[in-house]
Structure 1
Amino acid sequence: MVSKGVEAVLTLIKSNWPDVVDIISISGNYCIDKKPSALNWIDGRGKSVVAEATISHEVLEQI
């Protein structure tokens, strides 16, 4: 699900700023998402993300 969300955000960013943003993909040979790997035992699976946003009173009124 994260991949789909990131793809949607990148598409939106690219459509709004086509000359500013270049979308690239870098793989460090860690493409082991659901395949058996010792890295899953060592590092675990998944990541934690913390995000913060300040939403103005005006925006909240519109919702």
Structure 2
Amino acid sequence: MYSIRTEQAYTDWIKRYILHSDKRHPHDMGASEMMQFLTHLAVQRIDGAKTQAAKR
């Protein structure tokens, strides 16, 4: 059993993936869609880190 915070984090990631994939079912998608999602996250985090660094 996971802690409630871990379950909340997993639920958040699932929601992000669902919304990013335009609510398509995972069975209808392949590895390329997952790579697009992971790339999106990486770019978003890099931009977010740059924004946070600029505020300091």
Which band: TM-score by shorter chain? Answer: 0.3 to 0.5
Higher relative contact order (CA 8 A, sep 6+): 2
Q: TM-score when scaled to structure 1? A: 0.32
Higher helix share: 2
Radius of gyration: which is bigger? 1
Q: TM-score when scaled to structure 2? A: 0.35
